[in-house]
């Protein structure tokens, strides 16, 4: 006659506290060592890595700011420091979100970080600000607001829902063609291209 055996209840194991996941942005995946030693800064921003964002517009003028494209910054870091020569971290502290950019320093055989708080409405702002703290692409962040008149760029009205009123204005899109630096690495002149292909030099000569 078959007998039925019973298993003893499994002992309860003490659960370890669940830590929040580490969030990383633009993390380099290659384990290759960094081919350079610091300092190798500043790093100038190539024109193709810069985008032009409208920040204010009226019927008579439009204001723009220059900013660095995140994907271009990642490519620039890979080129300048090697794919394994940098990393990025993101964390919250005191109710504020911080982003840190770490560069590999052979002298200490480790990554050294500089952290910047997130600011503005763009998710990548903290990443770009952290790079600027290393003097990487800081030249772009130092450029003043570019103000252009309606004679330089097209400013189109945005009609309201009734088709008669005007609910705002849309300035012409611009791209960066060339930039000029001074002896200390600051951008002193920018050549922009409009949607129609016209070239604008700012500040004007």
Rounded mean pLDDT of the chain? 80
Q: What does the pLDDT look like over 17-47, one tens digit per residue?
A: 443 333 343 444 444 444 444 545 667 899 9
Give residue-wise pLDDT tens across range 95-141. Answer: 888 889 999 888 788 898 989 887 654 445 788 889 988 889 999 98
Q: Is the pTM of this model over 0.85?
A: no
Q: Which of 187, 157, 155, 158 is nearest to 174 (CA)?
A: 155
Beta bridge partners of 203: none
β-strands 174-181, 61-68: how paired?
Answer: unpaired
Taken as a whole, the chain contains a residue count of 205
**What is d(CA 145, CA 132) in angstroms, rounded to the nearest whole number?**
18
pLDDT band at residue 93 using 50, 70 and 90 as cut-offs: confident
């Amino acid at each position: 006659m078959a007998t039925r055996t019973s298993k003893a209840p499994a002992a309860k194991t003490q659960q370890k506290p669940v830590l929040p996941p580490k969030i990383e942005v633009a993390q380099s995946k290659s384990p290759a060592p960094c081919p350079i030693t610091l300092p190798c800064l500043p790093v100038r921003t190539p024109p193709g890595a810069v985008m032009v964002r409208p920040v204010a517009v009226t019927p008579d003028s439009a204001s723009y700011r220059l900013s660095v494209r995140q994907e271009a910054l990642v490519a620039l870091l890979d080129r300048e420091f090697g794919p394994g020569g940098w990393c990025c971290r993101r964390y919250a502290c005191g109710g504020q979100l911080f982003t840190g950019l770490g560069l590999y320093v052979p002298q200490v055989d480790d990554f050294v970080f500089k952290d910047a708080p997130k600011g503005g409405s763009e998710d990548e702002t903290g990443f770009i600000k952290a790079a600027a703290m290393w003097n990487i692409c800081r030249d772009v962040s130092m450029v003043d607001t570019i103000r252009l008149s309606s004679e330089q760029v097209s400013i189109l009205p945005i009609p309201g829902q009734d088709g008669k009123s005007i609910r705002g204005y849309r300035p012409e899109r611009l791209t960066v063609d060339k930039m000029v630096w001074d002896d200390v690495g600051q951008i002193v002149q920018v050549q922009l291209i409009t949607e129609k292909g016209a070239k604008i030099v700012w500040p004007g000569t």
